[in-house]
A and B are shown apart, each in its own frame.
Chain A
Amino acid sequence: MAILHTVNKSPFEKNSLETVMRIAIEGSSVLFIEDGVYGAMDGTSLNGKVSDASNRLHFYVLGPDLKARGLSEGEVMDCIEVIDYEGFVDLVVKHDATHACL
């Protein structure tokens, strides 16, 4: 069953987002948290890869982490859903296991 992968580092500094997109199988979820939220922004060099992956994976980004960094929900890629802390808990419960990719 499906795994929730969290990414907490900027994709421009670390390769965790790329690794997660490589190993996550269809129907899995990816949640951007902490500095990982930069990977959810529209207009970056990663948009193509994330957009392609969104055909088989669900993407989420944690709203409070966006806000803390001065990023607005409107700047997030269309294929990514913004969630709050409750939504984070719901995702953890909904999946069979969480892979906090470090």
Chain B
Amino acid sequence: MEDTPEKYEGGVVKKFMYVNRRAPHGTIYAQESLEVVLIGAAFEQDVSIVFLDDGVYQIRKDQDTSAIGTKNFSKTFRALEMYDVEKLYVEKESMEARGMTVDDLIVPVEMKTSEEIGRLMEKQDVILSF
């Protein structure tokens, strides 16, 4: 790391990137990722979240899991703002391949190209993939 991480009271702030690549309800990955994001945010880390491939389905709006008996954690994405997690990115290529636009999403995100996502990744201290 070329820059000394910024200090906050009681610790060091690092740049954490969470990379979500899986659809939301078939496996536990998406929900577990969100748990870890919230933990990072609770420790006041500099958090960003990237949705790639089927990961973009995690933040589709109008999810209703009542008939499958699992938690509809998609609503939790809307609470991230309260934890100062505001850097949410979707990959343009992944969205287009699935016929989706930002209007289909439950939270405001920034749309980035593959290359832009790659450049963002280079600025991170820690990258966690789910």
User: Which residues of B are found within 8 Å of A98, using beta-carbon distances?
Assistant: 127
A22 engages B1 (CB within 8 Å): no
Number of interface residues of B (CB under 8 A): 22
A-B interface contact total, Cβ < 8 Å: 51
Q: B118 touching A23 by the CB < 8 A rule?
A: yes
Answer yes or no: A68 CB below 8 A from chain B CBs.
no
Partner of B122, one of A1, A19, A22: A1
| Interface footprint category on A | 10 to 19
Instruction: Answer whether residue A62 sits at the interface, using C-beta atoms and an 8 A cutoff.
Output: no
Interface status of A51 (Cβ within 8 A of chain B): no
Which of A24, A25, A98, A101 has the largest count of B CB atoms less than 10 A from its CB? Answer: A25
A99 with B127: in contact, given A2-B122, A19-B21 (CB under 8 Å)? Answer: yes
Q: Residues 71-97 of chain A: 1 if any B CB is under 8 Å from the residue's CB, otherwise 0?
A: 000000000000000000000000011
Is B122's CB under 8 angstroms from A25's CB?
yes
Contact A25:B129 (CB < 8 A) given known A96-B122, A99-B121: no
Pair A3/B53 contact, Cβ less than 8 Å: no
Question: In whole angstroms, what is the CA distance A41 to B125 when docked?
Answer: 32
The 5 closest A-B pairs by CB, nearest first: A25-B118, A99-B127, A102-B129, A23-B118, A22-B114
A→B interface (CB under 8 Å): 1-3, 15-16, 19, 22-25, 28, 96-102
